Amino acid sequence: MNAMGATGVPEVVTVGLGERSYHILIGKGLIERAGTEIAARLPGVRAAIVTDGNVAAAWLPALTDSLSKAGIETVAITLPPGEKTKSFEHLEQVVDGVLGARLERRDAVIALGGGVIGDLTGFAAGIVRRGMNFVQVPTSLLAQVDSSVGGKTGINTPRGKNLVGVFMQPKLVIADTGTLDTLSEREFRAGYAEVAKYGLIDRPDFFAWLEANWQEVFSGGPARTRAIAVSCQAKADVVARDEFETGDRALLNLGHTFGHALEAATAYDSARLVHGEGVAIGMALAHRFSARMNLASLDDAERVERHLRDVGLPWRMSDVPGELPGAERLLEYISQDKKVSRGALTFILTRGIGQSFIAKDVPASEVLSFLRENLL
């Protein structure tokens, strides 16, 4: 069995959005084929590759080479790594770089990197000349299973994270699973929280499969490619039902309301908590809170906690290093979350593994008591 799985060809997920539909190609070594795949879909294109210093060192030469062999001229725009890059300042830098290369609307902007690069680059591609072609080459697990589907792009401002951006669908996503070999264990695990999330939202069989096969997903065999493909398909199915996030798409926020509050409470200090870790704890809390509300069984909550613990993810608030604020303050962070609509508390709760739903008007008093109990 070769690196791409038994068939030797990449897995292809189609994100079905009418005239904005596109393919996600998933497999090992795909960066070498990137030029051919892009040229086949966007003939005659020129491209700007946006990346960060770390990713550039590892993958930019291979990508540039692949594009060059397919006759695609490129310029590279290299930014500092890290969440701070998702700013107006760097947005302006990317926009200026793309315009400075005299690219036209039918040319392409390619994001080579993780979620930060993908979000920022997609936003830039969405606003230069009111929208150019956008291609994603995600190099982190989180970016491959999350930001490669759904078209959400954006930057942070002092008022909060991801509050400014556009919906911008890529023309193609090339997820080379080989790039994940260079991630730290911690970063890979954080991305895995989102993989598990898709099982918990509405794919109980996938969650059970992960319980049995997670070691191979981590070690990089064909199960990794499979897990990424199923995750992308799961997200694509939700997004196809609700491209502009007016309804069902909120399910993707399972674990995110508690998770965001914890991220805010730790001042987004990645030494203490990264996004995927917040989501992991948030998912465990969402299941436990659902059990407390008599919606789901405690057994299911414990099963979720066990799996997160098995793979080495944090799963309870006491797993966050350092001190957390009190329940009242955490509730304030929850109320400030952008998923709050007109003051009512909206949560993604569940009736069991793979049976999540959108719960509106969740009483703040219940959340407060729950947080108090779980902070002990």
Our CB check for its own copies shows the closer of 158 and 322 to be 158
Q: Is 121 annotated as a binding residue?
A: no
Q: How far is the CB of 190 from its own copies (least distance, A)?
A: 24
Q: Is 140 annotated as a binding residue?
A: yes
Dist CA 68 CA 73 (whole Å)? 6
Other CB atoms closer than 10 Å to residue 15's CB: what's the count?
24
- Between the alpha carbon of residue 169 and those of residues 10, 11, 156, 240, 288, the distances in Å are 21, 20, 20, 12, 35
**How many Cα atoms are found within 13 Å in the side-chain-facing hemisphere of 113?**
30
Helix or strand or coil: residue 133?
strand
Q: How far is the CB of 124 from its own copies (least distance, A)?
A: 9
Helix or strand or coil: residue 2?
strand
Residues 45 and 38 sit within 8 Å (Cβ to Cβ): yes
Q: How far is the CB of 261 from its own copies (least distance, A)?
A: 18
Our CB check for its own copies shows the closer of 71 and 160 to be 160
Q: How far is the CB of 127 from its own copies (least distance, A)?
A: 5
Q: How far is the CB of 166 from its own copies (least distance, A)?
A: 6
Our CB check for its own copies shows the closer of 167 and 209 to be 167
Strand partners, 109: 48, 134
Residues classed as catalytic: 130, 152, 194, 235, 245, 249, 253, 256, 260, 275
Our CB check for its own copies shows the closer of 104 and 181 to be 104
Q: Is 139 annotated as a binding residue?
A: yes
Helix or strand or coil: residue 358?
strand
Dist CA 301 CA 285 (whole Å)? 8
Q: Is 116 annotated as a binding residue?
A: yes
Q: Is 118 annotated as a binding residue?
A: yes
Give the H/E segment covering residue 161: strand 160-164
Our CB check for its own copies shows the closer of 77 and 223 to be 77
Dist CA 109 CA 103 (whole Å)? 9
Q: Is 115 annotated as a binding residue?
A: yes
User: Looking up tokens 């407060």, which residue turns up?
Assistant: 368
Our CB check for its own copies shows the closer of 132 and 284 to be 132
User: Looking up tokens 């990508």, which residue turns up?
Assistant: 63
Residues 276 and 190 sit within 8 Å (Cβ to Cβ): yes
Q: How far is the CB of 134 from its own copies (least distance, A)?
A: 14
Q: How far is the CB of 345 from its own copies (least distance, A)?
A: 14
**Phi and psi for 113 in degrees, rounded to 5?**
160, -160
Residues 31 and 174 sit within 8 Å (Cβ to Cβ): yes
Our CB check for its own copies shows the closer of 245 and 302 to be 245
Dist CA 131 CA 108 (whole Å)? 10
Q: Is 179 annotated as a binding residue?
A: yes
Q: Is 78 annotated as a binding residue?
A: no
Residue type, 168: M
Query: Which phi-psi region, left, alpha or beta, contains residue 14 (left: φ > 0; alpha: ψ -120 to 50)?
Result: beta
Footprint of its own copies (CB under 8 A): 88, 92, 95-96, 99-100, 104, 123, 126-131, 152-154, 157-160, 163-167, 244-245, 338, 341-342
**Phi and psi for 142 in degrees, rounded to 5?**
-60, -45
Residues 80 and 18 sit within 8 Å (Cβ to Cβ): no
Residues belonging to the binding site for Zn(2+) are 194, 256, 275
Residues belonging to the binding site are 115-119, 139-140, 152, 161, 179-182, 194, 256, 275
Residues belonging to the binding site for NAD(+) are 115-119, 139-140, 152, 161, 179-182
